[in-house]
């Protein structure tokens, strides 16, 4: 008999992923950015500068008082597309590889590899899109299902650019259905985690006589956030804590939120049956009837989806649903028409496999 854990004992850590510093084309140094994260009370930051691990080699990975810095890097191919975030690696792969080769290369080194901003389209000639085209690549661990910079860039045009610069977070709506669909499909084959990325650079940008900093770090860190769920508290030992953070991402023990729509800390999504318990990212057998529970910290529209289809939705702070159908279940929460919380999947499996798949209602 399994030993169901009390979900209330789990630990939640809130942070921000996909950060650029002065190591490549960002505008603050890693220690300065860590300070911004500390001021906002964040628990972790995931740095990914272009083709450099400079700050890792300077020894900046690890705890800085109460905030943990994980330092990876961002790879691109010869055409500057197929951007890929690599963590838990100590060396840079040579430039000029194909996406298939660097996805394989990072896996071979035991790293954690995540596809960045996969479906960018943009309308400004000075900022071309950097989409992912190498879907045949094998061995990536996750996808950025919501990239702040991509969504903002996709919404910008010659007429609205001043408004967009002055109030960048207001325009964030939701992950694109294209990316979410690909992510749900991939999860039918294997676990692929969905993360959020702010892709912060804090560039200066000229508009007529004015120069704006697009998305200062402090503004970006109050938008798309990752919430890691761990069964044990993060260790004070740098190496052990690093393992815990990497494992939580690889195992999909996380949900993402847009802080602009409300602090999502405390959101819960889990499933239980007579003698099993599954948190976000876990699997549970459909041999007994399964009950899903969702609890949001504020009133919102909550949707439970199975393999991309809505199986139940409602307004409020909680949602419950019982089933014995297999499939990959996840939650979306909205405030107004804007996306607020997107969880990773809980997998309901049959043993032996059957065709009893989830049914939309
Ligand atoms: Zn990129
Ligand atoms: Zn980037």
DSSP 8-state code for residue 102: H
Q: Is the pLDDT of residue 172 over 80?
A: no
**One fold for both 7-261 and 268-349?**
no
Query: Which listed ligand is nearest to 17 at the C-alpha?
Result: 2
Q: What's the CATH number of domain 7-261, 3.40.50.10490, 3.40.50.970, 3.40.190.10, 3.20.20.140?
A: 3.20.20.140
Q: Is the pLDDT of residue 6 over 80?
A: no
Spell out the residues 6+ positions from residue 185 whose beta carbon is closer than 8 angstroms to its own: 308
The confidence score (pLDDT) of residue 129 equals: 78
Residue 179 CA, ligand 1 centroid: distance in Å: 16
Residue 18 CA, ligand 2 centroid: distance in Å: 6
User: DSSP readout, 131-143?
Assistant: ----TT-----EE
Residue 74 CA, ligand 2 centroid: distance in Å: 6
Give me the mean pLDDT over the 125-132 stretch.
77
Residue 202 CA, ligand 2 centroid: distance in Å: 11
The single residue listed with the structure tokens 């628990």 is: 43
Query: Which listed ligand is nearest to 83 at the C-alpha?
Result: 1
The confidence score (pLDDT) of residue 262 equals: 96
pLDDT tens digit string along 85-99? 999 999 999 989 999
Contact 177, 227 (CB under 8 A): no
Q: Is the pLDDT of residue 351 over 80?
A: no
Pick the range with the lowest mean pLDDT from 14-18, 50-54, 172-176, 344-348: 172-176
The confidence score (pLDDT) of residue 4 equals: 40
Query: 246 — alpha (psi -120 to 50), left (phi > 0) or beta?
Result: alpha
Residue 13 CA, ligand 1 centroid: distance in Å: 25
Q: What is the mean pLDDT of the chain?
A: 89
Task: List beta partners, residue 144.
Answer: 195
Task: List beta partners, residue 229.
Answer: 12
Give me the mean pLDDT over the 330-350 stretch.
96
Residue 49 CA, ligand 2 centroid: distance in Å: 7
pTM beyond cutoff 0.85 = yes
- Reply yes or no: is the peptide bond before residue 352 cis, omega within 30 of 0: yes
Band of residue 174 on the pLDDT scale cut at 50, 70, 90:
confident
Residue 356 CA, ligand 2 centroid: distance in Å: 41
Residue 197 CA, ligand 2 centroid: distance in Å: 8
Residue 116 CA, ligand 1 centroid: distance in Å: 6
Cα 208 to its chain centre, rounded Å, is 35
Residue 249 CA, ligand 1 centroid: distance in Å: 19
The confidence score (pLDDT) of residue 130 equals: 83
Residue 352 CA, ligand 2 centroid: distance in Å: 43
Band of residue 131 on the pLDDT scale cut at 50, 70, 90:
confident
Residue 209 CA, ligand 2 centroid: distance in Å: 27
Contact 278, 291 (CB under 8 A): no
The confidence score (pLDDT) of residue 148 equals: 78
Each domain of the chain, given as residue ranges in start order, spans 7-261, 268-349
Select, from the ranges 54-68, 130-144, 171-185, 276-290, the one with the highest average predicted confidence (pLDDT): 54-68
Residue 227 CA, ligand 1 centroid: distance in Å: 22
The confidence score (pLDDT) of residue 15 equals: 98
Nearest to 197 by CA among 245, 146, 155: 146
The confidence score (pLDDT) of residue 122 equals: 66
Contact 280, 267 (CB under 8 A): no
> Which residues lie near ion ligand 1 (Cβ < 5 Å)?
83, 116
Q: Is the pLDDT of residue 79 over 80?
A: yes
Q: Is the pLDDT of residue 355 over 60?
A: no
Class of domain 268-349: mainly beta
The token pair at 116 is 């960045």
The confidence score (pLDDT) of residue 73 equals: 98
The confidence score (pLDDT) of residue 300 equals: 98
pLDDT tens digit string along 265-322? 999 999 999 989 999 999 999 989 999 999 999 999 999 999 999 999 999 999 999 9
Residue 35 CA, ligand 1 centroid: distance in Å: 23
Query: Which listed ligand is nearest to 24 at the C-alpha?
Result: 2
Q: Is the pLDDT of residue 8 over 70?
A: no
Query: Which listed ligand is nearest to 73 at the C-alpha?
Result: 2
Expressed in angstroms, the distance from the first to the final Cα of the chain is 32
Residue 106 CA, ligand 1 centroid: distance in Å: 17
Cα separation, 176 vs 170, whole angstroms: 16
Nearest to 143 by CA among 54, 256, 50: 256
């Amino acid at each position: 008999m399994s030993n169901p854990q009390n979900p209330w004992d789990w630990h939640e850590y809130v942070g921000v992923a996909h950060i650029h510093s002065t190591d490549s084309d960002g505008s603050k140094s890693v220690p300065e950015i860590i300070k911004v994260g500390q001021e906002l009370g964040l628990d972790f930051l995931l740095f990914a500068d272009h083709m450099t691990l400079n700050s890792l080699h300077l020894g900046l990975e690890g705890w800085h008082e109460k905030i943990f810095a994980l330092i990876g890097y961002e790879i691109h191919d010869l055409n500057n597309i197929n951007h890929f975030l690599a963590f838990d690696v100590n060396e840079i792969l040579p430039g000029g590889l194909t996406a298939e080769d660097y996805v394989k290369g990072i896996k071979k080194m035991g790293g954690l590899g995540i596809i960045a901003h996969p479906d960018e389209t943009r309308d400004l000639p000075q900022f071309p899109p950097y989409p992912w085209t190498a879907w045949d690549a094998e061995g990536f661990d996750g996808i950025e299902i919501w990239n702040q910079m991509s969504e903002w860039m996709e919404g910008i045009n010659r007429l609205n650019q001043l408004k967009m610069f002055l109030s960048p977070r207001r325009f964030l709506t939701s992950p694109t259905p294209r990316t979410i669909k690909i992510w749900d499909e991939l999860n039918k084959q294997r676990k692929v985690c969905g993360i959020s990325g702010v892709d912060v650079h804090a560039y200066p940008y000229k508009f007529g006589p004015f120069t704006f900093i697009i998305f200062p770090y402090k503004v970006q860190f109050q938008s798309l956030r990752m919430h890691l769920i761990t069964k044990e508290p993060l260790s004070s030992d740098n190496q052990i804590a690093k393992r815990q953070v990497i494992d939580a991402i690889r195992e999909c023990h996380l949900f993402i939120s847009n802080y602009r729509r409300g602090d999502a800390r405390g959101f819960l999504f889990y499933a239980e049956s007579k003698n099993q318990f599954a948190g976000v990212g876990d699997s549970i057998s459909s041999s007994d009837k399964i009950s899903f529970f969702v609890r949001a910290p504020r009133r919102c529209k909550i949707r439970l989806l199975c393999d991309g289809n809505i199986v139940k939705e409602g307004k409020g702070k909680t949602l419950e649903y019982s089933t014995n159908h297999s499939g990959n279940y996840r939650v979306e929460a909205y405030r107004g028409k804007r996306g607020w919380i997107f969880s990773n999947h809980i997998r309901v499996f049959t043993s032996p496999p059957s065709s009893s798949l989830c049914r939309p209602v």
